[in-house]
């Protein structure tokens, strides 16, 4: 709830966490949440909810996206995977892995999940993004097309179309450079 005002732009498009205007976040709500997380973690036996709260706290404490402690988030997701094994937890961890060890390592983590997440929008959105970072444009386009087909909202579909537009623009720029 603390980040709600920053999650969508004025036209209703999704704004990714790393692109959100953090000045719009409710510092009061974040401070209250952080105090609760600190209190819960003092019990020395965190459960899955405390681990999830600790992950959220690391995002909230980062004043700028580049201040995010992705290594710690990766470690916390690793702990959460052991507590509550789930392909979605692994998918979320892959985002942190991509920031710490690169898109290739994250892609290797998520590829075995494809059968279990074949109907999950976020799987194909992340896969497309990782493939795009690896300059595997054709494969990224296939993943993005699947994500659009699975989108639950118009905002999700529009967000993926933005990635496809960027992919097409980059492809056209590369083709123009080769033609010179």
pLDDT in tens, 69-89: 999 999 999 999 999 999 999
* DSSP, res 169: H
* DSSP, res 13: -
pTM of the predicted structure, to 2 decimals = 0.81
Residue boundaries of the structural domains of the chain: 118-180
First to last CA, the chain: 51
pLDDT tens, residue by residue, 115-166: 999 999 999 999 999 999 999 999 999 999 999 999 999 989 999 999 999 9
For 73, the token pair is 């988030």
Rounded CA gap, 140 and 4, in Å?
29
Dihedral sign for Cα 116, 141, 101, 70, please.
negative
């Amino acid at each position: 709830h603390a980040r709600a005002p920053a999650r969508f732009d004025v036209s209703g498009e999704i704004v990714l966490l790393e692109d959100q205007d953090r000045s719009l976040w409710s510092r009061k709500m974040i401070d209250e949440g952080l105090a609760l997380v600190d209190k819960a973690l003092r019990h020395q036996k965190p459960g899955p909810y405390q681990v999830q709260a600790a992950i959220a706290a690391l995002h909230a404490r980062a004043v700028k996206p580049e201040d995010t402690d992705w290594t710690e988030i990766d470690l916390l997701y690793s702990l959460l995977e052991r507590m509550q094994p789930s392909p979605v937890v692994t998918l979320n961890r892959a985002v942190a892995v991509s920031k710490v060890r690169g898109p290739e390592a994250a892609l290797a983590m998520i590829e075995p999940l494809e059968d279990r997440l074949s109907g999950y929008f976020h799987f194909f959105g992340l896969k497309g993004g990782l493939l795009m970072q690896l300059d595997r444009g054709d494969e990224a386009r296939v993943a993005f097309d699947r994500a659009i087909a699975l989108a639950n909202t118009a905002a999700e579909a529009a967000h993926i179309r933005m990635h496809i537009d960027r992919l097409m623009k980059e492809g056209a720029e590369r083709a123009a450079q080769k033609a010179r």
